[in-house]
Structure 1
C-alpha cells in the first residue's frame, strides 16, 4: 500500500518499496491502494525498478488504484509498457513473455471490502471474469491481490480450490471468492503450504487486533505445480 498523503507523486511513495525489493531480489510485485490517478509508468532511477499503475481518472480523485513494480531490466527487455493494461482502479494485467513463445498473464486486483454494496461486489467479479475470459487460453494465469476475504480451511467442501492450511472462518466475501474459483477452476495457493500463521496473515483488524489472511495468489489448477511457495 502506498501512502495516500503523497497525493499524485508515485516517485516519492514507491521509492522505499523499490529499495526493499532490490534487497530481497524480487523481480515483480503487485501493489494495491497506490492512490495515483490515471494510467502511467515511471522509472525509479537509482533503484532498478519501474512503477506501472492504473487508478481513477483525475476528476474522480485518488480512492484506490493498483500497480506493478517491475525490475527495469525486465520491463525494457519485454517492452512491458505495451503489454500492461489498466482496466480500472481495481484491476490491472501484465502479459509477460516467457520462453518458447509462451506467455504468463499476471492480474493485480483490489476487491470490494466486506462493507461494500452487493452490486459493487458483483460488478468487481463481473469485470474480473471478463478479463479472464479474454485472456489467451494458452497463458499461465496468476491472480494477485487484496480480495478483502477470509476463506477458511475447509478443503473437503472446496476440494481443488482450497488447501488444508488456510486460517480464519469464512465470511461472505470468502464465499464469493470460493464460488468464483470453483467457476473458473482456480486454486488459492496460500492455503496449500504448511507454515506458521504469522507467515500467512497480512492484516490486523483495528478493533479485535486479530491478524487475518485477506491477500491471495490464485492460479489455474493446471498450473499448480508451477507454484513453489506462497
Structure 2
C-alpha cells in the first residue's frame, strides 16, 4: 500500500475481531471488530505518516462503523470551525446509468443497472446533505468498477466515497484502482482532496455620492456658498504655538 502514497485508507470486511490501534513500522492500523471474537465483518483505517500526526482520537462504534476526526493544519492556520465529513464503505448499491431527478446527490458518470439499494443510498445522501463523489468524474468503465464477481463475469460500482455537499468542489478525483496487494473481490477506491480556504468577504463600505450636477443651477450654487461661508465663520482659528511650547 505504501507505493500509492496515500494518507488514509478506509478498510471494510477486515475480519479482525479486535478493536484498537496497532503500529506497523510507519503505518498506524486502527480497527473496530466484533466483541464476540468471531472473525467476521470488521472495519478500520490505515493511517500513513502524514495523516497519523493529525489523529487526536478514535471512535470505534461497532464492527460496521468507525469514525476518526482528523485535525488539519495548513501552514500556521488550524481549521477547527468546520468538519469535512466523508462517509466511505461498501454500500451494495448500484446507482445505474442515469442521474435524472437525482442531480442533487450524484453526477452523470454512473455505472451499472440500478438495484433495490439504490434508493436507500439516495435517501441517505439527501437526508445527510452528501454527494457521491464516484459519479463526479469521467473515467473508463474499468475505472468505475469497484467489485468483480469470483467468476469474473459481473462487475459493478458498489463501494462509494460520499462527501458533504459544501465540500464537493474540494474533491479533485475519485477513481477505482486495481492491483492492491490483498485477496479480495473488491478493488481500491481513491479520492483526492484539496481543501480550499476562502477569506471571508467583508462588506464594502459605500462612499457617499454627492450630486454635484445641482451646482449647475445658479441659485443652488449661491445657497451652497452662503451655507459654506457661515459654517467656516464659526470655526475658531488656532493660535500659533510659542517658541517655548515648541521647545
Counterpart CA distance in 2 for 1:74 and 1:162 is 28
Structure 1 residue 149, shift from structure 2 partner: 1.1
The alignment of Structure 1 onto Structure 2 pairs a total of residues equal to: 171
Which of 69, 87, 91 is residue 95 of structure 1 equivalent to? Answer: 69
* Residue equivalent to 1:200: 144
Question: Take 1:86 and 1:194, find their aligned partners in 2: how far apart are those partners?
Answer: 35
- Quick check: 1:35 aligned with 2:15? yes
Q: Are the equivalent residues in 1 in contact too, given 2:9–2:47 (CA < 8 A)?
A: yes
1: CA distance, partners of 2:102 / 2:151: 30
Q: How does 1:114-125 map to 2 (within 5 A)?
A: none
Contact persistence 1:153–1:162 (CA under 8 A): no
- What CA distance in whole angstroms lies between the structure 1 residues aligned with 2:40 and 2:69? 26
Residue 154 of structure 1, CA deviation: 2.5
CA contact (8 A) 1:204 1:210 kept: yes
Q: Deviations over 1:135-159 (max 9, x none)?
A: xx82111111111111113322111
Q: Is the 8 A contact 2:8 2:51 kept in 1?
A: no
Q: TM-score, normalised by structure 1?
A: 0.70
Structure 1: segments with no counterpart, 5+ residues: 1-19, 104-136
SS of the residue aligned with 2:11? strand
What is the CA deviation profile of residues 62-120 of structure 1, one whole-angstrom value per residue up to 9, with x for unaligned ones? 21000100114532x23x3x5211100001111000123325xxxxxxxxxxxxxxxxx
The aligned residue for residue 62 of structure 1 is 39
Bigger relative contact order (CA 8 A; separation at least 6): 1
Q: Which residue of 1 aligns with 2:119?
A: 175
Q: 2:95 aligns with which of 125, 143, 151?
A: 151
Q: Which runs of 5+ in 2 are unaligned?
A: 175-247
Equivalent residue number for residue 185 of structure 1: 129
**Between structures 1 and 2, the one with greater helix share:** 1
Quote the offset at 1:38 in angstroms: 3.1
Which residue is 1:134 aligned to?
A: none
